[in-house]
């Protein structure tokens, strides 16, 4: 720990910049802790307040700007990637959608302090086509507030920070092992909660080929419900033919509009069909018995259509 303090003292501004940039890009770097230590060093006269805040804001804009560009350029593909690697699949994107659609540019400030959303909000802003100038202005302001909060904490508790660093340095390997154990326990708890949530949503699914056969048949019409949010549907306008868009949070208000004597298929574009399974559970609780989420969701349907199109085109014929 003494080495960390010495490194922060000698290269404090660079360390703040690199740690903040890495965190904004999504790396598991404790940038907030680095800023707290920097605040203690500022109180001791070892670092410049203006320089620390300036590089922190710059790193925020650069890191978030990279994700903003990715969201604007690749749209739903980036959002699917982030949701897959998140410990809270689907909810991370939904919270970002809610923040940005309800609060606009000010959502970037709130996102800095919401776990699981801070990395998702910038690409979501890009995917929703927030103007670049507006994004940059709000992101810079949010970065300044975020950095200022942790620097201020370090300033106020500068003496306590030094004592903690000294205690951890004296503890040596025991302190490092304890820190690793606490991190591992936290990750394990979140993983277990995720598995438990998915197990609770272990309802029967319908495959894309079965759904295609049902749509092609003439026995009975099938009700298809797209349970993505309006923001997600705007980012990815692809849709299964005949699908009706109903937000999962509002499906209880549409019960009277849904037929109870038909098969109902729900789909989303999220890992493990979380939103579709939740919506299916709601309908089941209200007496609907022929309800199934689509296995693989929208992406599986589109992949099936692409495979069918490739097969129907057949191999190229070369003239003699």
Q: Which residue ranges form the domains of the chain, and what is each CATH number?
A: 2-172 (no CATH), 208-306 (3.40.250.10)
Higher pLDDT residue, 131 or 85? 131
pLDDT in tens, 54-74: 999 999 999 999 999 988 888
Q: If DSSP codes are grouped into helix, strand and coil, which group holds residue 224? A: strand
Structure tokens belonging to residue 179? 């820190």
Comparing CA positions, the residue from 198, 182, 195, 186 lying closest to residue 281 is: 198
Is it the case that residue 5 has pLDDT exceeding 60?
A: no
Structure tokens belonging to residue 195? 């598995």
Q: If DSSP codes are grouped into helix, strand and coil, which group holds residue 103? A: helix
What pLDDT score does 159 carry? Answer: 74
Q: Tell me 294's DSSP state.
A: B
Q: Identify the helix (H) or strand (E) that includes residue 292.
A: strand 291-293
CA gap 319, 75 in Å, rounded: 41
Q: If DSSP codes are grouped into helix, strand and coil, which group holds residue 15? A: helix
- Return mean pLDDT, the chain: 78
What pLDDT score does 68 carry? Answer: 92
Are the C-beta atoms of residues 90 and 279 closer than 8 Å to each other? no
Segment 214-226 mean pLDDT: 84
What pLDDT score does 318 carry? Answer: 46
Is it the case that residue 46 has pLDDT exceeding 70?
A: yes
Are the C-beta atoms of residues 128 and 78 closer than 8 Å to each other? no
Strand partners, 206: 294
Is it the case that residue 209 has pLDDT exceeding 60?
A: yes
Comparing CA positions, the residue from 23, 297, 292, 12 lying closest to residue 151 is: 12
């Amino acid at each position: 720990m003494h080495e960390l303090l010495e490194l922060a003292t000698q290269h404090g501004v660079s360390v703040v910049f690199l740690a903040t940039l890495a965190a904004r890009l999504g790396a598991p770097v404790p940038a907030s802790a680095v800023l707290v230590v920097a605040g203690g060093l500022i109180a001791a006269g070892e670092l410049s307040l203006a320089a620390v805040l300036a590089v922190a804001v710059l790193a925020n804009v650069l890191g978030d700007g990279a994700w903003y560009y990715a969201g604007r350029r690749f749209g739903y593909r980036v959002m699917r990637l982030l949701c897959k690697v998140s410990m809270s699949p689907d909810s991370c994107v939904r919270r970002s959608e809610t923040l940005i659609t309800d609060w606009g540019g000010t959502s970037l400030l709130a996102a800095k302090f919401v776990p699981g959303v801070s990395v998702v909000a910038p690409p979501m802003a890009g995917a929703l086509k927030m103007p670049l100038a507006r994004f940059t202005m709000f992101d810079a302001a949010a970065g300044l507030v975020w950095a200022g909060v942790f620097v201020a904490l370090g300033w106020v508790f500068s003496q306590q920070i030094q004592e903690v660093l000294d205690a951890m340095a004296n503890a040596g390997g025991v302190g490092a092992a304890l820190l690793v154990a606490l991190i591992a326990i936290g990750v394990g708890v979140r993983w277990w909660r995720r598995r438990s949530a998915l197990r609770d949503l272990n309802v029967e699914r319908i495959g894309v080929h079965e759904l295609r056969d049902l749509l092609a048949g003439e026995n009975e019409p099938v009700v298809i419900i797209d349970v993505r949010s309006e923001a997600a549907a705007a980012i990815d306008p692809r849709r299964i033919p005949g699908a009706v868009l109903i937000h999962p949070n509002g499906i209880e208000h549409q019960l009277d509009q849904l037929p109870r004597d038909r098969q109902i298929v729900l789909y989303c574009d999220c890992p493990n069909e979380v939103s579709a399974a939740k919506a299916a559970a709601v309908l089941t609780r209200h007496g609907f018995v022929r309800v199934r989420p689509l296995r693989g969701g929208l992406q599986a349907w589109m992949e099936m259509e692409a495979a069918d199109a490739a097969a129907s085109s057949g191999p190229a014929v070369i003239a003699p």
